[in-house]
Amino acid sequence: MSEKRLAPFMEMAQKESCFRPGSTLCVDCMESIAFQNVGRATDNGIKTIYTMGTFCGEVSTLLWPTVVAWGRGDQEATQFEKSFSIIHNVFESASTVAEGIRDTADILLELGALKKPIQVVANSGDGGALVIGLRSLLHTIHRRSRVTVVVLINEFFANTGFQYAVTATPYSETSTTPPGDFIPGNLEEPMNHVGLALMAGAEFVAQVSPAFPKDFTEACERALSCSETAVIFVPSPCIAGWKFKEGRTIELAKLASETGLFPTFLKEKGKAGSLRHVSLDSKQRTPILRFLAPQRRFHHLVHEKNGEPAVVKGREKEVALIQDWANRNVQTLQRLTAWDVA
């Protein structure tokens, strides 16, 4: 890689993440990679306050006093700008609590009781932000609160036993949509979370994966510089629930974008957005079979034989319907790159 292309990575690599070793997240969990990177992006000279709902990323990183995988700038009292604080809130309220912190800090700054600015980041799983906590998320966006909301999407309520979430791929196996002879897994199409965030009025909406580090870094930096709500959705392969072999996390995250199931998307209010790492021509697009076959949650539909995907006899219709959903998803997101709230 040329020096010019390496420069942004070098700069980011030299920053200090607020996510430290010692978590009990599964090996190969995408959430730990996302935390490392969001953590580095927040080392930008402004104190960070994080709110966290209950989800894998919280229960596996914050079990004081045995597991505490977060912290920065706590060695010296003078490191206010570098420092990082974290609040664990009830499951569905990460963005509401973040909003409260934002308002309180703004009032204290105005009164002179707080001398330096802070930045606020809310962090949840898709269950916490898009299912049980959807009201909290949409109202924070609607109030234009100056916070960054990061939503990890693994398509389940993972830490309570892999129950269905509204982001689940059609016909996937979850513990509440088990495939059988008559019902081939989850029958619902996913909710349009990107569209909802835009329509509620978010200043910046992104769907980015740490598998594409340049886009991920760009999204974090743009979100943290917003004057209203920014939302970053992070599609996150979950080894325990998706049931794939160790070492395939990044490959699956890339395929999630390239197949059109979770394409990389960046859109700032009033500006043209972009759809990346997915072909806009459906004939050129990576077939969804490549994404489905390595995961045992789709084994009632497709298997991997000698490294190649093979559709289970009698399940051609379901596979075609997933492909159709992916194609429509790309068309919808492409339209949204040119859409702005009135």
| Residue 29 touches which member of ligand TPP, ligand SF4, none, C-beta under 5-8 Å by kind | ligand SF4
* Shortest distance, position 236 Cβ to ligand SF4, whole Å: 6
For residue 78, count CB atoms less than 10 angstroms from its CB and return exposed for 0-12, middle for 13-18, buried for 19 or more. Answer: exposed
- Asked if 165 touches ligand TPP (CB under 6 A), the answer is yes
| Closer Cβ to ligand SF4, 35 or 84, answer by number | 35
- Contact pick of 97, 158, 208, 319 for ligand SF4 (by CB under 6 A): 158
* SS3 call for 243: helix
Backbone torsion region of residue 175, taken as left when φ is above 0, otherwise alpha when ψ lies between -120 and 50, otherwise beta = alpha
**How many C-beta atoms surround the C-beta of residue 321 within 10 A?**
14
For residue 35, count CB atoms less than 10 angstroms from its CB and return exposed for 0-12, middle for 13-18, buried for 19 or more. Answer: buried
- Asked if 124 touches ligand TPP (CB under 6 A), the answer is yes
- Asked if 154 touches ligand TPP (CB under 6 A), the answer is yes
Interacting stretch for ligand TPP, rule CB under 6 A, among 11-19, 86-94, 98-106, 257-265? Answer: 86-94
| DSSP E strand stretches across the chain | 47-52, 62-63, 67-68, 84-88, 118-125, 148-153, 156-157, 163-164, 204-207, 230-235, 264-268, 274-276, 302-305, 308-311
Could you give the string, one character per residue 39-78, with x where binding to ligand SF4 holds by CB under 6 A and - elsewhere?
-----------------x---x------------------
| Closer Cβ to ligand TPP, 56 or 330, answer by number | 56
Interacting stretch for ligand SF4, rule CB under 6 A, among 23-31, 75-83, 255-263, 318-326? Answer: 23-31
- Asked if 159 touches ligand TPP (CB under 6 A), the answer is yes
Rounded Cα gap, residues 274 and 59, in angstroms: 34
* Shortest distance, position 36 Cβ to ligand SF4, whole Å: 14
| Closer Cβ to ligand SF4, 185 or 237, answer by number | 237
| Residue 275 touches which member of ligand TPP, ligand SF4, none, C-beta under 5-8 Å by kind | none
Interacting stretch for ligand SF4, rule CB under 6 A, among 154-162, 185-193, 299-307, 325-333? Answer: 154-162
Q: Which of residues 224-283 bind ligand SF4 (CB under 6 A)?
A: 238-241
Cα dihedral 161/159/262/227 (nearest 10):
150
* SS3 call for 70: strand
- Contact pick of 39, 73, 100, 127 for ligand TPP (by CB under 6 A): 127
Interacting stretch for ligand TPP, rule CB under 6 A, among 36-44, 81-89, 121-129, 290-298? Answer: 121-129
CA within 13 Å, CB half, 281: 2
- Tokens at residue 311, please? 């559709």
> Which of the 8 DSSP states describes residue 27?
T
> Which of the 8 DSSP states describes residue 17?
P
- Is residue 302 within 8 Å of residue 315, measured between CB atoms? yes
Nearest CA-CA partner of 70 in 123, 23, 119: 23
Q: Which of residues 308-337 bind ligand TPP (CB under 6 A)?
A: none
Q: Taking the CA atoms of 124, 126, 127 and 130 in sequence, report the sign of the dihedral they define.
A: positive
- Asked if 26 touches ligand SF4 (CB under 6 A), the answer is yes
* Shortest distance, position 131 Cβ to ligand TPP, whole Å: 7
| Residue 85 touches which member of ligand TPP, ligand SF4, none, C-beta under 5-8 Å by kind | none
Rounded Cα gap, residues 16 and 73, in angstroms: 9
- Asked if 99 touches ligand TPP (CB under 6 A), the answer is no
Task: Kindly list the residues in this chain that would bind ligand TPP in the complex (CB under 6 A).
Answer: 54-57, 90-92, 124-128, 132, 154, 156-160, 165
Task: Kindly list the residues in this chain that would bind ligand SF4 in the complex (CB under 6 A).
Answer: 25-26, 29, 31, 56, 60, 154, 158-159, 238-241
